[in-house]
């Protein structure tokens, strides 16, 4: 099993939050593992257990060129002595970026497919073609979001979040698996706000609803997704976002990645300025990792 390191909760004492009568906490789940960090640890946990139980020695998964999931999966595969295959969206661009360089150095076999073909990744015929090409493998979906990922994130919510005193939990959303698990684990308690890191991310509402209901057979009303803070789309960023991330590091010694957590924290601070949160509430920000160590 992957090693797990307990993570701290820190408080950010900003002038804006004090003026608004708010308390801001950060759950530093980015510190739970050097490479398989944040929510990726929990999303992969039961997938890796299932791969071992069913005697697979190769993991195959999907992602874009900057995918935190690709990064985490290959790191987990290396630590647990699995072979790994990454189906990468888009044409190969050389030199490889840092994410794919890390993946290749850790032994992942990279297979690039066109964006058009990538859209078929969930089709049986597409997967059958991959089996013909690569042989037997344990398939982990894009972002790791399946029922086993929801199970892991549900466990995280019950074991690590339920005992924390907060009113709002905020987290970035890419595929919806983490949010579905946390909503399920909190069992309708607290308010959960997701922040889409994708442009046109309204479809994530359906994804979270589907994952939650399929796993728990229940629907919970205590969550929502903000879709206006994507900063241009997945893996895109703006000068304003870059400056915000630098400010958080400079003023609070809090490192954020620009793909996920940076966008979420910037969004929360903007909502504080807009007086979105009721006075006297505590906001818990979930740092879902994504910082590159390799």
User: Which residues touch 126 (CB under 8 Å, ≥6 apart)?
Assistant: 117, 120
pLDDT in tens, 99-149: 999 999 999 999 999 999 999 999 999 999 999 999 999 999 999 999 999
Q: What DSSP character marks residue 192?
A: E
Task: Judge: domain 39-144, CATH 3.40.50.1100.
Answer: yes
pLDDT of residue 235: 84
pLDDT of residue 123: 96
For the cut 60, the answer to whether the pLDDT of residue 293 exceeds it is: no
pLDDT in tens, 1-11: 899 999 999 99
User: Partners of 223 in the beta sheet?
Assistant: 192
pLDDT in tens, 141-190: 999 999 999 999 999 999 999 999 999 999 999 999 999 999 999 999 99
Segment 183-198 shows an average pLDDT of 97
The domains of the chain are located at: 9-35+146-286, 39-144
CATH topology of domain 9-35+146-286: Rossmann fold (3.40.50)
Query: Is the torsion defined by CA of 141, 145, 149, 150 positive or negative?
Result: negative
| Other beta carbons less than 10 A from residue 91's beta carbon | 10
Question: Are 229 and 267 a contacting pair, CB within 8 Å?
Answer: yes
| DSSP-based three-state secondary structure for 140 | strand
pLDDT in tens, 211-229: 999 999 999 999 999 999 9
39-144: same fold as 9-35+146-286?
A: yes
Residue-averaged pLDDT of the chain? 96
d(CA 1, CA 20): 43
d(CA 175, CA 192): 16
pLDDT of residue 258: 93
The number of residues in the chain equals 294
pLDDT band at 287 (very low <50, low <70, confident <90, very high): very high
């Amino acid at each position: 099993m992957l090693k797990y390191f307990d993570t701290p909760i820190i408080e950010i004492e900003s002038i804006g939050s004090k003026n608004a009568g708010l308390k801001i906490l950060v759950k530093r789940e980015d510190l739970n593992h050097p490479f398989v960090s944040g929510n990726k640890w929990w999303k992969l946990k039961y997938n890796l257990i299932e791969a071992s139980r069913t005697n697979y020695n190769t993991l195959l998964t999907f992602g874009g060129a900057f995918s935190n999931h690709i990064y985490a999966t290959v790191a987990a595969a290396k630590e647990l002595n699995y072979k790994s295959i990454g189906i990468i969206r888009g044409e190969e661009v050389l030199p490889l970026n840092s994410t794919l360089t890390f993946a290749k150095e850790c032994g992942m076999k990279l297979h690039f497919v066109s964006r058009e073909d990538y859209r078929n990744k969930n089709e049986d015929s597409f997967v059958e073609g991959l089996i013909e090409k690569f042989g037997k493998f344990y398939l982990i979906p894009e972002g790791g979001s399946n029922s086993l990922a929801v199970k892991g994130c549900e466990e995280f919510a019950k074991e690590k979040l339920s005992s924390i005193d907060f009113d709002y939990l905020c987290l970035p959303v890419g595929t919806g698996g983490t949010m579905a698990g946390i909503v399920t684990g909190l069992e309708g308690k607290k308010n959960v706000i997701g922040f889409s890191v994708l442009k046109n991310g309204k479809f994530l509402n359906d994804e979270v609803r589907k994952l939650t209901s399929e796993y728990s057979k229940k629907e919970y009303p205590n969550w929502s997704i903000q879709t206006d803070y994507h900063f241009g789309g997945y893996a895109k960023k703006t000068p304003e976002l870059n400056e915000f991330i630098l400010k958080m590091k400079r003023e609070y010694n809090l490192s954020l990645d620009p793909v996920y957590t940076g966008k979420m924290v910037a969004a929360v601070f903007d909502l504080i300025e807009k007086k979105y949160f009721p006075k006297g509430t505590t906001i818990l920000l979930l740092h879902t990792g994504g910082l590159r160590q390799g």
